[in-house]
Amino acid sequence: MAKQTQVAESRTPRRREQKQSNMSRVLQRRENINGYLFMLPSLIFFVGFVIIPMFICIFYSVTDANMRDTAVHFVGFSNFIDLWQDPVFLEALKNTFLIVVVSVPTVCAFSLWVGSAIYKLKGPLLSAFRCIFYLPVVTGSVAVTVVWKWMFDNYTGIFNSVLKGVGLIDKNVNFLGDSRFAIWCIILILFTTSVGQPIVLYVSALGNVDHSLVEASQVDGATDFQVFWKVKWPQMMPTTLYILVITTINSFQCFALIQLLTQGGSGTNTVMYYIYWTAFKLTEKAGHFGYANAMGVMLAIFIAILSAVQFRLAKEK
Amino acid sequence: MKKAKRLLALALALGLSVSLAACGPKEQGGQQSESPKPSASQPVESQKPVDSQEPADTGSDVAKEITLWTYPIGNWGKEAEVKALTDAFKADTGITVNVEYLAYADGDDKVNSAIAAKNAPDLVMEGPERLVANWGASGYMVDLSDMLSAQDRSEIQESVLNACTATDGAVYEYPLVMTAHCMAVNLDAFKEAGADQYLDLTTHTWTTENFIKAVEALYAHYGDTVAAVYCGGQGGDQGTRALVNNLYGGTFTDAAHTTYTWDDPLNVKAIEQLKGMDGIAFDASLQGGDEIAKFYQGVLKMAFCWNIAQQLDPNSAGTGSGKTVTGEEIAFMSFPSEDGTAALQGGIWGFGIFDNGDASRIEASKLFINYMANSEHTVDAVRTANYFPVRSAAGGVDLSTMWADNDIMNEYQVLMPFLGDYYQVTKGWAQARTSWWNMLQKVGEGADVASTVATYAAEANAAAK
Amino acid sequence: MKSENVRGRVYKIVSIVMLAILAILFLFPLYWIVTGAFKPSADIYAQKPVWLPTEWVVTNFQKLFDRRTAPLFEIFGLVGPTVPAVFRWLVNTVFMAVAAMVLTCLTAAMAGYALAKKRFRGRAIVFGLIVCAMALPKQVILIPLLREMSALNLYGTLWAVIFPTVGWPFGVFLMKQFSESIPGEILEAARVDGSSELRTFITIVFPMVKPGVGALAIFTFISAWNDYFMQLIMLDSNNFYTIALGISTLQSETSIDMGILMAGAALASVPIIVVFLCFQKYFTQGITMGAVKG
């Protein structure tokens, strides 16, 4: 059935296109004008504060621009060449992708598990769980970061105290000051602030699954596991895609965590943070704005590719 | 009819965006009363055309409102205390000073983004490493040498004035206060561990040998980290620099302030020594401020990020001078060195003016600087900073005895002769600081000391060129 | 069949227990903020963490309030009474988040409708751009944005934070997905009836996409509230700080008092949590409505 609706959906645009070709030029023009009028308010902001800056960013990336805006020289692709020889950038790139590659699937899997475990619970219990998992999202990134920093404290933190108390460790673990742990701590905090929305989504998606199909397959003798993967999972595909998109966005945006916990030290530097650092800390470096923008362009290219792939996959499904 | 409606839609859409755009500047206007931006002061400018050639003695081209951004320099980070000073200034001159308080953690970033947005404050209060070596050298600051009369120059300590002067002779910082950065020990903990025998509390100095013995004694008693070589960021890095440099007599830069020399064997030896000591941890989760808090809390028995303002008010907590939170006694100490005479890292703080191209605001800022750093009111400004004055007298008031009634300040005077070279004005300073704490982190994680130090020092030197 | 039932029940019990443990872990940071805010400094600085304040005190709040002051609001030259700056920061944050939310919803609903239902030329390109830019972190365009805001004279104002949030194309994408479900026949009928485009949008389209707007509103509000980065870059004066920025600057080099920080964190999070709990039903409804279509 899911397939059928999809086929129907994919047929409509084609029919419309046919219609469109029959439309008179006047009609097309009217459609153009109306379309743009409705797009206009949004485009002002989108073009003004995303697209134009992006072009300026590309322009800067091939120059030796500094904080001081006099005498900007074209330097070709030397910024980009330097980037690939900069060990800090390469490490940051690695960390950026590590964060995304780890957090996106774990958030999805975890929220799917929680969602399937709680969606059949009674009303108050269900909403209690939903709220609890959503709380870190509403608490606010800075407040959350500040308290986690305290909990992770190397000397008097609650984690060290508890772990020592139950005998799991005998020496304090320097969670945020040790490159073996720091990035995982950041991923963990990011995780707690990311799962709230996906859980809510999965709960409702599971609730909306077509029950007649589930029953039919159960009559056919399918196990719970089979029912889940063969019947429920395909129906939740749109939800899953949406979750993938917002989680990816979230993971790329994680800045406060790094700024307030490690300042990019202990092996937690990311490209986003290194851009900021190059732009506003290393201000004596010649051409630091150009360099930071080159990093931005590289990151944007990677993200655009990632998004394109994600959507291609989504369309195929 | 249809056309009209379409037009209406267009008008609505446009109206929405225009009204939004209009809201921005309006907001800016509302802000005028609080913190003037270049745009906000334009009306003033347009009424009275500014001629920068004209001397400012008429008073007509002096702005009525300026902004001051200050780092937490003693109590210059506390609103109530600073307000008393700016209110007095306003009563005298009619100039309103809007103060923004920066934190060391992200203060530089804020100033830098404001410069990039062409919205730099009029006045900034910090040290020569930022005002002279960074913003001054990049051409954002106003040369203040015309403010210094022969008398001023004779009253201000020569070494301080040198630090505030760029290589081309321009003075980018009008100094107000100074101190020597030192370290501190938890005296009660030292006594308990029997380590107080290694401290000389009259001269407040100790040798490297005694320092090592003291750490051993403390570790034997407490069995845990007693001091941290903090490297979670650049905050408070003067402490780790001074510790490493003094231990075996290494230097951070050469005497001419052109090259970073922290890869010399003496520094490598010191870092290896520290790395090998039980009880001393290279801690990448702490910055200077965190270390102070941990010391104040009694967890760490030594603090490398210390100075007189901290001694007077540990952790700015207002719980009494020279005491930890539980009332244990804190003693300030010079950094250990082989012969006991350390080269202490100086701290100099004063005012600089950002060149925003508005002569009236520069004039007003100069009035402010004169009021705070070169008049009979200087004594209050210095007292608020909790540091020592950089000049013997100001506005006819003798400043050399201003702290005479303060025992702690008097005692602290013993450290002042140890003030070392003010090398923070070396080119590439921001990169050098970043490289320094990154190097400490890598060493802390077990990387080979000599090669790691060499790599990061080379990185710093690349920026010094 | 029976054994499967038993296994099913065991699985259910185990998963509930695990959920309960996880729930405690998720609640713990909040617990730590709230208790931390009311702990006396002896507890804050205790070398062994104190689970419950030995004494509930408000000194942390007092210290926080005494640190900075600011007028409660400033609109068109009207200046409010001087209050502890935290309250001004809260006012700023609410204003910023609400303005971003309203603007985003309005513009995105219109644009989403156009992208879904209007076959205008260049539509594919616009949509392609939107999809590609959606995951773009703002750090990428940080320097150009800063320059732009300074040129527009918006640097240092809350608008400098609001506008880039509105420009972020996720909302348009979401509303486009949502508007796809509007039956073309209804729009056609309205057109035949002579309804203007704008009227069709207001009376027919908007009510139909309302749930999507709700979802977007929540999403935008929360992401604006949490968007520490733009605030850090764009806001330069105490009076225009947001609460997130305010708390982060409480951590300075020379004094770190976890009590004050926790008091700030409590003030930053408790209001929005209360709002969330009150409107919890609409919240979850809104979120879900948006995504099922996505």
Interchain contact, A282 vs B109, CB within 8 Å: no
B399 shares its domain with B426:
no
The number of C-alpha atoms within 13 Å of A214 and in the hemisphere containing its C-beta is: 14
C186 shares its domain with C287:
yes
Average pLDDT value for residue range C5-33: 88
Query: How far is B23 from B25, CA to CA, in rounded Å?
Result: 6
Six-digit token string for B125 = 């209060």
- C192 to chain B, any CB pair closer than 8 A? The answer is no
Chain A residues in contact with C111 by the CB 8 A cut-off are: 38-39, 41-43
- C198 to chain B, any CB pair closer than 8 A? The answer is yes
Question: Residue C218: its pLDDT value, please?
Answer: 82
Query: How far is A37 from A22, CA to CA, in rounded Å?
Result: 23
Per the structure, the complete domain to which residue B287 belongs is given by 181-343+421-464
B429 shares its domain with B404:
no
B288 shares its domain with B428:
yes
CATH number at residue B297: 3.40.190.10
Question: Residue C2: its pLDDT value, please?
Answer: 54
Contacts (Cβ under 8 Å, ≥6 apart) of A79: A61, A62, A287, A290, A291, A293, A294
Interchain contact, A147 vs C137, CB within 8 Å: no
C37 shares its domain with C75:
no
Lowest mean pLDDT among A223-237, A290-304, B2-16, C14-28: B2-16
> pLDDT band at residue C7, thresholds of 50, 70 and 90?
confident
Mean pLDDT, chain B, whole residue set: 84
Interchain contact, C76 vs B26, CB within 8 Å: yes
Element (H, E) at B280: strand B280-283
Percent of chain A predicted with pLDDT > 90? 36
B228 shares its domain with B307:
yes
Average pLDDT value for residue range C68-73: 85
* Inside any domain, residue B123: yes
Interface of B with C in 294-323 (CB under 8 A): 296-299, 309-310, 315-317, 319
> pLDDT band at residue B50, thresholds of 50, 70 and 90?
very low
B355 shares its domain with B317:
no
Interchain contact, B9 vs C68, CB within 8 Å: no
Interchain contact, C153 vs B37, CB within 8 Å: yes
For chains B and C, count residue pairs whose Cβ atoms are closer than 8 Å: 159
Is the pLDDT score of B48 beyond 70?
no
Domain end: C27, C57, C87, which one?
A: C57
C22-48 CB burial, b ≥16 within 10 A, e <16: bbeebeebbebbbbbbbbbbebbbbee
How far away is chain B from the Cα of C96, in angstroms, using its nearest Cα?
13
Residue A284: which of B9, B17, B429 has the nearest Cβ?
B429
Lowest mean pLDDT among A112-116, A239-243, B62-66, B338-342: A239-243
- Phi, psi angle pair for B69, to nearest 5°: -110, 125
Contacts (Cβ under 8 Å, ≥6 apart) of A19: none
Q: How far is CA A244 from the centre of its chain?
A: 7
Domain end: B418, B436, B453, which one?
A: B418
Dihedral sign of CA atoms B7, B13, B15, B21 in order: negative
Q: Would you kindly state where each structural domain of chain A is located, as residue ranges? A: 1-39, 74-138+190-316
Question: Residue C3: its pLDDT value, please?
Answer: 59
What does pTM read for this prediction?
A: 0.87
Give residue-wise pLDDT tens across range A252-279.
Answer: 888 889 998 988 888 899 999 999 999 9
- B288 to chain C, any CB pair closer than 8 A? The answer is yes
Give residue-wise pLDDT tens across range C119-142.
Answer: 888 888 998 888 888 878 888 898
* Inside any domain, residue B194: yes
Is the pLDDT score of C292 beyond 70?
no
Question: Residue A21: its pLDDT value, please?
Answer: 57
Contacts (Cβ under 8 Å, ≥6 apart) of B59: none
C42 shares its domain with C121:
no
How far away is chain C from the Cα of B396, in angstroms, using its nearest Cα?
33
How far away is chain A from the Cα of C77, in angstroms, using its nearest Cα?
27
Question: Residue A20: its pLDDT value, please?
Answer: 53
- B222 to chain C, any CB pair closer than 8 A? The answer is no
Chain C residues in contact with A131 by the CB 8 A cut-off are: 276-277, 280
* Inside any domain, residue C63: no
Interchain contact, C253 vs B28, CB within 8 Å: no
C99 shares its domain with C144:
yes
B132 shares its domain with B272:
no
Lowest mean pLDDT among A100-114, A297-311, C85-99: A297-311
Interchain contact, A45 vs C244, CB within 8 Å: no
Chain B residues in contact with A156 by the CB 8 A cut-off are: 297, 299
B126 shares its domain with B91:
yes
Chains contacting A (3+ CB pairs below 8 angstroms): B, C
Six-digit token string for B244 = 């490493």
The number of C-alpha atoms within 13 Å of B308 and in the hemisphere containing its C-beta is: 29
Question: Residue A163: its pLDDT value, please?
Answer: 92
Question: Residue A138: its pLDDT value, please?
Answer: 87
Give residue-wise pLDDT tens across range C149-166.
Answer: 999 999 999 999 999 999
Question: Residue B464: its pLDDT value, please?
Answer: 84
Torsion of CA B152, B158, B163, B166, to 10 degrees: 70
> pLDDT band at residue B106, thresholds of 50, 70 and 90?
confident
* Inside any domain, residue C62: no
Chain B residues in contact with A263 by the CB 8 A cut-off are: 232-233, 287
Torsion of CA B164, B168, B172, B174, to 10 degrees: 50
C274 shares its domain with C181:
yes
Angle between helices A182-192 and A141-151 (to 10 degrees): 140
* Inside any domain, residue C101: yes
How far away is chain A from the Cα of B236, in angstroms, using its nearest Cα?
14
Six-digit token string for B167 = 């290589």
C49 shares its domain with C82:
no
* Closest chain B residue by Cα to residue A38: B13
> pLDDT band at residue B175, thresholds of 50, 70 and 90?
very high
Alpha helices in B36-131 (DSSP H): 42-47, 79-93, 107-116, 128-130
Contacts (Cβ under 8 Å, ≥6 apart) of B427: A284, B133, B137, B257, B258, B463, B464, B465
B196 shares its domain with B328:
yes
C212 shares its domain with C132:
yes
Average pLDDT value for residue range A270-294: 88
Interchain contact, B140 vs A68, CB within 8 Å: yes
Interchain contact, A68 vs B134, CB within 8 Å: no
Chain A residues in contact with B116 by the CB 8 A cut-off are: 67, 279-280, 289
* Inside any domain, residue B1: no
Contacts (Cβ under 8 Å, ≥6 apart) of B295: B184, B186, B301, B302, B303, B324
Q: How many domains does chain B have?
A: 2
Closest listed residue to residue C222, CA positions, set C274, C272, C173? C272
CATH number at residue C247: 1.10.3720.10
Average pLDDT value for residue range C175-200: 86
- A40 to chain B, any CB pair closer than 8 A? The answer is yes
* Inside any domain, residue B54: no
DSSP notation for B222-278: H-S--EEEE-SSSTTHHHHHHHHHHHTT--SB-TTSSSB-TTSHHHHHHHHHHHH-T
C184 shares its domain with C51:
no
Find out whether B267 and B275 touch, Cβ atoms under 8 Å.
Answer: no
Closest listed residue to residue B247, CA positions, set B229, B223, B222? B229
C105 shares its domain with C19:
no
Interchain contact, A282 vs B232, CB within 8 Å: no
C99 shares its domain with C41:
no
B335 shares its domain with B426:
yes
Is the pLDDT score of C8 beyond 80?
no
Mean pLDDT, chain A, whole residue set: 85
Chain A residues in contact with B225 by the CB 8 A cut-off are: 155
* Inside any domain, residue B88: yes
- B42 to chain C, any CB pair closer than 8 A? The answer is no
B332 shares its domain with B433:
yes
* Inside any domain, residue B49: no
| Residues facing B344 on adjacent strands | B419
* Closest chain A residue by Cα to residue B10: A37
Give residue-wise pLDDT tens across range B286-336.
Answer: 988 889 999 999 999 999 999 898 898 888 888 888 999 999 999 999 999
Interchain contact, B463 vs A179, CB within 8 Å: no
Interchain contact, C79 vs B33, CB within 8 Å: yes
Give residue-wise pLDDT tens across range B51-61.
Answer: 333 344 444 58
Question: Residue C109: its pLDDT value, please?
Answer: 93
CATH superfamily to which A74-138+190-316 belongs: MetI-like (1.10.3720.10)
Interface of B with C in 387-446 (CB under 8 A): none
* Closest chain A residue by Cα to residue B2: A30
Give residue-wise pLDDT tens across range B182-220.
Answer: 999 999 999 999 999 999 999 999 999 999 999 999 999
Interchain contact, B232 vs A177, CB within 8 Å: yes
Interchain contact, B445 vs A152, CB within 8 Å: no
Residue A156: which of C19, C47, C247 has the nearest Cβ?
C47
- A42 to chain B, any CB pair closer than 8 A? The answer is no
Interchain contact, C154 vs B110, CB within 8 Å: no
How far away is chain C from the Cα of A71, in angstroms, using its nearest Cα?
16
Query: How far is B337 from B244, CA to CA, in rounded Å?
Result: 10
C119 shares its domain with C223:
yes
C164 shares its domain with C19:
no
Is the pLDDT score of C106 beyond 90?
yes
Is the pLDDT score of B24 beyond 80?
no
Chain B residues in contact with A265 by the CB 8 A cut-off are: 231-233, 284, 437-438, 441
Give residue-wise pLDDT tens across range A135-171.
Answer: 998 888 889 999 999 999 988 889 999 999 898 888 8
* Inside any domain, residue B29: no
Chain B residues in contact with A34 by the CB 8 A cut-off are: 6
Question: Residue B461: its pLDDT value, please?
Answer: 92
* Closest chain A residue by Cα to residue B461: A285
The amino acid that residue C129 corresponds to is L
Average pLDDT value for residue range B388-398: 90
Chain B residues in contact with C248 by the CB 8 A cut-off are: 105-106
Chain B residues in contact with C75 by the CB 8 A cut-off are: 30
Per the structure, the complete domain to which residue C125 belongs is given by 70-293
For chains A and B, count residue pairs whose Cβ atoms are closer than 8 Å: 110
- A33 to chain B, any CB pair closer than 8 A? The answer is yes
Question: Residue C289: its pLDDT value, please?
Answer: 62
Q: How many domains does chain C have?
A: 2
Find out whether B103 and C253 touch, Cβ atoms under 8 Å.
Answer: yes
- A235 to chain B, any CB pair closer than 8 A? The answer is no
C-alpha distances out from residue C24 to B450, C18, C19, C265, Å: 47, 10, 9, 19
B411 shares its domain with B426:
no
Interchain contact, A161 vs C49, CB within 8 Å: yes
How far away is chain C from the Cα of A303, in angstroms, using its nearest Cα?
7
> pLDDT band at residue A70, thresholds of 50, 70 and 90?
low
Interchain contact, C288 vs A272, CB within 8 Å: no
B88 shares its domain with B195:
no
